[in-house]
Amino acid sequence: MVESGVLVLLDIDYFKRVNDTYGHPIGDACLQAVAQRLQELVRKGEIVARFGGEEFALILVEGGIEAARLFGERLAEGICFKVYEIGGGQFSEVVVTLSGGAAILHPKSDLRDLLSRADKALYEAKQGGRARLYFVGRKEPLFIGTRTSTLISRVDAALVPDR
């Protein structure tokens, strides 16, 4: 059981646009690419879980607000994956960013309250311009993404054109 740490809720920015542009199979590949990158970014003993839809929940152990800031910096580049068109040999690189909200996790934390506080900070990140991480009770984001990307080539997706 985690004694202390930070709960981070993350949401893929403009995920509906990915599904609407490329279709749901590519949206699924996007979710896989994000999950893979999050697994690469967390330290041993930290938890990554899909929370629903295009949201992910992470438990960062120890470190409090500094752990959240350092995680945000590792995430700042965004996530990129390749989309291939079947039979055409062409591909596109799709870049997504994440917005996040974080709250301190204590041994006596009430789960509903903790989720509510992290969700409120996530909402502030979305309202503040996306591609950033807010911490409960702070007016400024812990990080703002660069909107560049880290290419994830292991999660490639085939795009079947609608014809």
pTM, whole model, 2 decimals?
Answer: 0.83
Indicate which residue of 3, 40, 46, 54 is catalytic: 54
The residue with greater pLDDT, 83 or 65, is 65
Comparing 13-17, 26-30, 122-126, 146-150, which segment has the lowest mean pLDDT?
Answer: 146-150
For residue 2, what pLDDT band results from cuts at 50, 70 and 90? low
pLDDT at 8: 94
**Known catalytic residue at 93:** no
Parallel, antiparallel or unpaired: strands 132-135 and 98-105: parallel
Phi-psi region at 125: left, alpha or beta (left = phi > 0; alpha = psi -120 to 50): alpha
Rounded to 5°, angle at Cα 41 from 38 and 44:
105
Helix (H) or strand (E) holding 89: none
Domains of the chain: 5-159 (3.30.70.270)
Band of pLDDT at residue 153, cut at 50, 70 and 90 = very low
Confidence of residue 159 (pLDDT cuts 50, 70, 90): very low
Rg for the chain (alpha carbons), in Å? Answer: 16
